[in-house]
């Protein structure tokens, strides 16, 4: 059976749902395949702190109201380093006022619902990509097996790979991959009855080379999560839960664990494998983790998948059909992806090799504790609303320098505590 579509999307998760829905709403005929069998097949390992940079796309999809109705937490965070707390009291653009914390078992079915509501989308679940069809040097189709093992083929003007971490599609196409060194492991668990001193605001602690996160979640849950350097794994291995809970004891404004009960098994990844690929390869468009899998510590994967798929639909949707126009539109998508995400990817991977904060990072932390404007700009950068060159502008650098001179003169006195 061969079918012709305008677009084929492999993957029906964050990137695939966003790309397919936004392209289908432009009147394009879209085929979506995913090897998962249904809503119960959600992504198992993800701490799902969705950064605020994704809010415009979440709104555009019509997902915001559904997330709110499902109890997703509108997230924001405060950060602790040895210099004190960094919080953002600056003005909030409603467009990017917050991100979302929501478990994947809640998010992933909502994404499938969005796809199912689009009349222009044909969705096949239990359908695994097995091959790519090449036509004149460009990939213009796929082969896939359904749940019964029957093989199908489909062709389209554009094939989108949104098939996640380790993308089977990228492997089939031989897309070059730049691997990134990551020298931390991650473990986390959800808990009931673990209130945060900050209420619904997430907390982050940088402790030497390690990091701890406490996130409020849907259903009144709190997640404890630690990213710890590989050399400590032996000490964690015998009792990972005790090690996780112990990590947070004694931290400033630590979560109250006295009445807390585990609400999940211990989750995580012993070895993190980060990488980056080109966003366009021989006519294929790559979105989300298929294109780039950054250190999960940065909490950017879902946000970047939403955003990249949105850019793809914006750039390529209107041009689909005309071969030359599609190639040019794909190039615009590639450039946009690079312009907005390459700098973030650089800074994230630079910090993922298990090193302690470098001089610039320490100077930024000191300044952000002391200077509310630096804190505000840092939060926008970490929320991925602004790019590195917007954050490290001459104006911000001058403020960072001034605050560090004042810090040196005060001999390292902490500036303010978390209210």
Is 52 or 66 the residue whose CB approaches ligand FAD more closely? 52
Q: Does 216 bind ligand FAD (CB under 6 A)?
A: no
Q: Does 162 bind ligand FAD (CB under 6 A)?
A: yes
Using the structure block, give the residue that is written with the tokens 């298929």. 290
Site for ligand FAD in 282-301 (CB under 6 A): 288-290, 296, 299-301
As a whole number of Å, the end-to-end CA separation of the chain is 64
Euclidean distance between CA atoms 124 and 160, whole angstroms: 15
- Bridge partner list, 124: 33
Who's near 342: CB < 8 A, 6+ residues apart? none
Give the residue, chosen from 9, 10, 254, 385, that forms a contact with ligand FAD under the rule CB under 6 A. Answer: 10
Euclidean distance between CA atoms 108 and 222, whole angstroms: 19
Is 49 or 333 the residue whose CB approaches ligand FAD more closely? 49
Q: Min. distance of Cβ 289 from ligand FAD in angstroms?
A: 4
Q: Does 303 bind ligand FAD (CB under 6 A)?
A: yes
Find the radius of gyration of the CA atoms of the chain.
Answer: 22
Q: Does 128 bind ligand FAD (CB under 6 A)?
A: yes
Is 21 or 400 the residue whose CB approaches ligand FAD more closely? 21
Residue 85, CA distances (Å) to 106, 177, 240, 252, 415 in order: 31, 38, 27, 9, 9
Q: Does 383 bind ligand FAD (CB under 6 A)?
A: no
CB atoms within 10 A of CB 151: 11
Q: Which element (helix H / strand E) includes 315?
A: helix 301-316
Contact string 44-63 vs ligand FAD (x = CB under 6 A): -xxxxxx-------------
Q: Does 14 bind ligand FAD (CB under 6 A)?
A: yes
Q: Min. distance of Cβ 212 from ligand FAD in angstroms?
A: 14
Q: Does 129 bind ligand FAD (CB under 6 A)?
A: yes
Q: Does 133 bind ligand FAD (CB under 6 A)?
A: no
Is 84 or 299 the residue whose CB approaches ligand FAD more closely? 299
**Short-list 18, 30, 186, 188, CA closest to 110:** 18
Q: Does 115 bind ligand FAD (CB under 6 A)?
A: no
Who's near 28: CB < 8 A, 6+ residues apart? 6, 7, 120, 317, 320
Q: Min. distance of Cβ 163 from ligand FAD in angstroms?
A: 4
- Stretch of residues binding ligand FAD (CB under 6 A), selected from 42-50, 313-321, 323-331, 349-357: 42-50
Exposure letters 194-229 (e unless 16+ CB within 10 A, then b)? bebebeebbbbbbbebbbbbbbbbbeebbbbbbbbb
Give the residue, chosen from 23, 31, 32, 43, that forms a contact with ligand FAD under the rule CB under 6 A. Answer: 43
Give the residue, chosen from 16, 84, 216, 283, that forms a contact with ligand FAD under the rule CB under 6 A. Answer: 16
- Stretch of residues binding ligand FAD (CB under 6 A), selected from 163-171, 240-248, 277-285, 339-347: 163-171
Who's near 36: CB < 8 A, 6+ residues apart? 12, 42, 125, 126
Query: What is the contact surface with ligand FAD in residues (CB under 6 A)?
Result: 10-16, 33-36, 43, 45-50, 128-129, 162-165, 168, 186, 269, 288-290, 296, 299-303, 305
């Amino acid at each position: 059976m061969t079918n012709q579509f305008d677009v084929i999307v492999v993957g029906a998760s964050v990137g695939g749902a966003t790309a397919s829905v936004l392209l289908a709403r432009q009147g394009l005929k879209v085929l979506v395949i995913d090897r998962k069998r249904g809503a119960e097949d959600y992504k198992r390992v993800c701490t799902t702190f969705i950064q605020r940079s994704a809010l415009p796309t979440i709104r555009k999809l019509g997902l915001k109201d559904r997330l709110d109705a499902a109890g997703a937490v509108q997230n924001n965070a405060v950060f602790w380093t040895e210099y004190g707390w960094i919080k953002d009291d600056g003005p909030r653009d409603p467009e990017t006022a917050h991100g979302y914390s929501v478990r994947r078992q809640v998010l992933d079915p909502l994404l499938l619902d969005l796809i199912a509501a689009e009349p222009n989308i044909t969705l096949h679940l239990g359908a695994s990509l097995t091959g790519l069809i090449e036509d004149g040097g460009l990939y213009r189709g796929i082969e896939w097996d359904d749940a019964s093992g029957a093989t199908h083929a489909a062709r389209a003007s554009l094939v989108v790979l949104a098939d996640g971490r380790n993308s089977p599609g990228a492997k089939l196409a031989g897309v070059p991959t730049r691997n990134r060194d990551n020298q931390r492991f991650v473990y986390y668990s959800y808990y009931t009855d673990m209130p945060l001193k900050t209420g619904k605001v997430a907390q982050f602690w940088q402790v030497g080379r390690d990091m701890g996160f406490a996130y409020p979640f849907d259903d009144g849950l709190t997640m404890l999560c630690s990213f710890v350097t590989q050399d400590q794994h032996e000490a964690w291995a015998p009792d990972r839960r005790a090690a996780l809970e112990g990590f947070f004891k004694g931290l400033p404004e630590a979560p109250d664990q006295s009445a807390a009960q585990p609400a999940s098994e211990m989750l995580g990844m012993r070895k993190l494998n980060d990488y980056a690929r080109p966003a366009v390869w021989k006519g294929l468009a790559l979105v989300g983790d298929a294109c780039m899998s950054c250190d999960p510590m940065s909490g950017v994967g879902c946000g970047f998948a939403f955003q990249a798929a949105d850019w793809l639909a914006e750039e390529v949707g209107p041009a689909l059909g005309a071969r030359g126009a599609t190639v040019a539109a794909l190039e615009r998508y590639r450039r946009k992806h690079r312009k907005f995400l390459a700098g973030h990817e650089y800074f994230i991977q630079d910090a993922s090799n298990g090193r302690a904060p470098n001089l610039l990072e320490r100077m930024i932390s000191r300044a952000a504790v002391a200077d509310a404007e630096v804190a505000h700009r840092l939060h926008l950068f970490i929320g991925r609303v602004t790019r590195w060159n917007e954050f490290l502008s001459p104006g911000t650098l001058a403020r960072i320098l001034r605050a560090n001179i004042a810090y040196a003169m005060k001999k390292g006195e902490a500036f303010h505590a978390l209210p």
